[in-house]
Amino acid sequence: MAQIKLQNVEDYYEIGEVLGSGHFGQVRAVLERASGVRWAGKFLKLRRSASSRLGLERKSVEREVEILQSLQHANVMALRDVFESRAEVVLIVELISGGELFDFIAEKESLSEEEAIEFLKQILKGVGFMHTKNIAHFDLKPENIMLADKMMPHPHIKIIDFGLAHRLKQGEEYRSLSGTPQYIGKWNIPRVYCLGLSPFQGDNDEETLKNIVGMIYEFEEIYFNQTSAMAKDFIEKLLVKDPIERMTANECLVHPWIKPLTRKQAANRSRSSINMKSFKKFNAKRKWKMSFNMVWACNRLFRLQLQCKSRSQEDPELRQCESDQEDTETKPASLIRRRLSSNS
């Protein structure tokens, strides 16, 4: 387990602007006082008591820390330090300033399969490394694939957010329904689509889940007409129900679409391209959904606070619940989202 410091994080780091927020809290830019180096601080609110409705269990935070510590890889966000106070844990991690990969791609006019493969290879290397340590991320989705610096000629991928990650034990089955519908692999294998569209995509989340469970997918000509046969073969080899038959991340890296064996295969990749129209549409829809979820979570939190208040007036033992509300005033939506997602 990581050496968690009990000192005040602010003695060592100056806390800066908010970079993002998630289910569990905020991520802020921080400046290391001693060196002047910029990092990111992930502030995770701890659950105060077993009966509390808000915050994270300490053991979940410990798991995230332990997993991040064991994952030192160029394509995985690095953990530098951990601080704990009575109410929260702060993870000091490397600052990833290039934004989300999908936003970077969506700004482009065109993208060949060859260019997309350069990103995919880095994701596969990161995922392959995790799997050698028996760690499954369980929440691989566009929001969690970031770029170290988007101004670089060949931007470097960083996989973030190990809040749902688990170290799997031999012979132990892990079942979870947490995650995001389009990106859930029913058999616990993440599926990454760099082609702009999920072949499982339904009209709503329910239909998408039904398609995944039933393995109902198709490469609709209208969307996939610019996609090479090798790319489709690559995807099909991932959409295999039996995990033993399915390509592993390391096998993906030697599939001829990723590592062509002949000149003809290599030429096919540079001639085929990503359907940017559907990619941009997909990305805009994804962003809209993220904003919608945030508003929904805020409303839900507000309702919970009201419920809590009226119940605590009737029952003094529920005062603990009310005391949690004070903490939510500074970081509202983030706290409730993880609970909702892990219970869904």
Q: Which of residues 143 and 324 has its CB atom nearest to ligand ATP in the complex?
A: 143
Kindly state the smallest distance separating residue 95's Cβ from ligand ATP, in Å: 5
Kindly state the smallest distance separating residue 194's Cβ from ligand ATP, in Å: 19
- Tokens read off for 166: 């688990």
Kindly state the smallest distance separating residue 139's Cβ from ligand ATP, in Å: 6
Q: Which of residues 125 and 338 has its CB atom nearest to ligand ATP in the complex?
A: 338
Is residue 20 part of the contact set for ligand ATP (CB under 6 A)?
Answer: yes
158 belongs to an annotated ligand binding site = no
Q: Chain-centre distance of CA 40, in angstroms?
A: 16
Distance CA 249, CA 72 (A): 17
User: Among 9, 13, 30, 40, which residue interacts with ligand ATP (rule: CB under 6 A)?
Assistant: 40
Site pattern 319..338 for ligand ATP (x: CB under 6 A): ------------------x-
Distance CA 271, CA 263 (A): 12
Give the helix ranges, DSSP H, for the chain.
9-12, 58-70, 101-106, 113-132, 205-213, 221-224, 229-238, 249-252, 263-271, 276-314, 319-328, 332-343
28 strand-pairing partners: 18, 41
Kindly state the smallest distance separating residue 240's Cβ from ligand ATP, in Å: 27
Q: Which of residues 75 and 144 has its CB atom nearest to ligand ATP in the complex?
A: 144
Cα distances (angstroms) measured from residue 161 to each of 13, 167, 183, 313: 21, 15, 15, 38
76 strand-pairing partners: 159
Q: Which of residues 269 and 337 has its CB atom nearest to ligand ATP in the complex?
A: 337
Strand 166-167 with 135-136, pairing: antiparallel
Kindly state the smallest distance separating residue 344's Cβ from ligand ATP, in Å: 13
Q: Which of residues 23 and 339 has its CB atom nearest to ligand ATP in the complex?
A: 23
User: Among 161, 179, 190, 201, which residue interacts with ligand ATP (rule: CB under 6 A)?
Assistant: 161
Kindly state the smallest distance separating residue 182's Cβ from ligand ATP, in Å: 14
Cβ-contact 65, 24 below 8 angstroms = no
| Residue 58, Ramachandran bin (φ over 0: left; ψ between -120 and 50: alpha; else beta) | alpha
Cβ-contact 100, 146 below 8 angstroms = yes
Return the amino acid letter for 165: A
Indicate the residue whose CB is closest to ligand ATP: 22
Cβ-contact 135, 166 below 8 angstroms = yes
Is residue 163 part of the contact set for ligand ATP (CB under 6 A)?
Answer: yes
User: Among 15, 19, 247, 294, which residue interacts with ligand ATP (rule: CB under 6 A)?
Assistant: 19
Which residues in the 84-113 window bind ligand ATP by CB under 6 A? Answer: 93-96
Would you state the torsion angle of the CA atoms of residues 150, 95, 343, 196, taken in this order, to the nearest 10 degrees? 10
Q: Which stretch binds ligand ATP (CB under 6 A): 24-32, 208-216, 256-264, 306-314?
A: 24-32
Is residue 77 part of the contact set for ligand ATP (CB under 6 A)?
Answer: yes
State the catalytic residues. Answer: 139
Contact residues for ligand ATP, defined by CB under 6 A: 19-25, 27, 40, 42, 77, 93-96, 143-144, 160-161, 163, 337
Binding-site positions: 42
